[in-house]
A = this chain, B = another copy of it.
Amino acid sequence: MLKEMLENVREHRPLIHNITNYVTVNDCANMLLACGGSPIMSDDADEVEEITSICAGLNINIGTLNRRTIPSMLSAGKKANELGHPVVLDPVGAGASVLRTRTALQLMEEVRFTVIRGNVSEIKTLANGSGTTKGVDADVADVVTGENIGQAVSFAKSFAAKSGAVVAITGAIDIVADADRAYCIYNGHPMMSDITGTGCQLSSLVAAYVAANPGRELDAACAAVCAMGVCGEIAHERLQSLDGNASYRNYIIDAMYHLDGETLERRAKYTLTDA
């Protein structure tokens, strides 16, 4: 299954429209190219509808959101809905400010998202309508572990049911769920959190995977999350004694560039829970 998802990305080379933050935008673009997709970044209200129309999918990331780009997110999202394009939401820092929480909730109200991907604190904020996210990282109290995974899966499924989107909660253990089924994914490496923007890159990747695999949103999002985790592992194995987070960043993108379906299938570690 994962193999097919990955190969569809490489075959169809989906063009992904990203309205995203200026911190990690370059890495998102290179990650999209690495996976076989193609990026375009555009955030002006005067062109976003048109740009999203020529694309296969849209990725909305609210990091460094501002009053100029919020209306662009809304119109691009609505246009993508109208055209039946998949739309991904990355609610970066939802819970850390009223502006971020309110914008994420407004986006969810006005745009139908195919996938919502965030850390557990961000997703809890969206589910509860408010939150206390510490910056852009998950609160320790929220973290998904072997102990509370059952609860976390139920939460993800019920938020997926409520939102109508596939929900991807990523962290040490990743959960990718729709209303009925949930994947728990055990790939990745803790050092990935020492790089800025691995979450943002993953959201771009998810957009490419769902765009290239229409009608199979859950599986496609799962494949993207597995791919990112596997690349985090491959890149970590490559680290030499002097390499730190900057080299690791490059190696993860490099690993995605070379990732093939067989390797993804062989290295992916996940379980599937049905309703």
Say whether B247 contacts A250, CB under 8 Å.
Answer: yes
Say whether B245 contacts A238, CB under 8 Å.
Answer: no
Residues of B within 8 A of A68 (CB): 66-68
Residues of B within 8 A of A257 (CB): 194, 244-246
Say whether A246 contacts B242, CB under 8 Å.
Answer: no
Contact with B along A101-142 (1 / 0, CB 8 A): 000000000000000000000000000000000111100000
A86 in the interface (beta carbon within 8 A)? no
Counted per complex, copies of this chain come to 3
Interface centre among A66, A137, A197, A258 (most CB of B within 10 A): A66
Alpha-carbon gap, A23 to B197, bound state (A) = 14
A11 in the interface (beta carbon within 8 A)? no
Residues of B within 8 A of A97 (CB): 42, 46-47, 50-51
Give how many A residues have a beta carbon under 8 Å from the other chain's beta carbons.
Answer: 63
Say whether B255 contacts A244, CB under 8 Å.
Answer: yes
Say whether A258 contacts B244, CB under 8 Å.
Answer: yes
A256 in the interface (beta carbon within 8 A)? yes
Among A31-39, A149-157, A206-214, A222-230, which stretch is in contact with chain B? Answer: A31-39
Given contacts A30-B196, A34-B194, A137-B38, whether A246 and B249 have CB atoms under 8 Å apart is yes
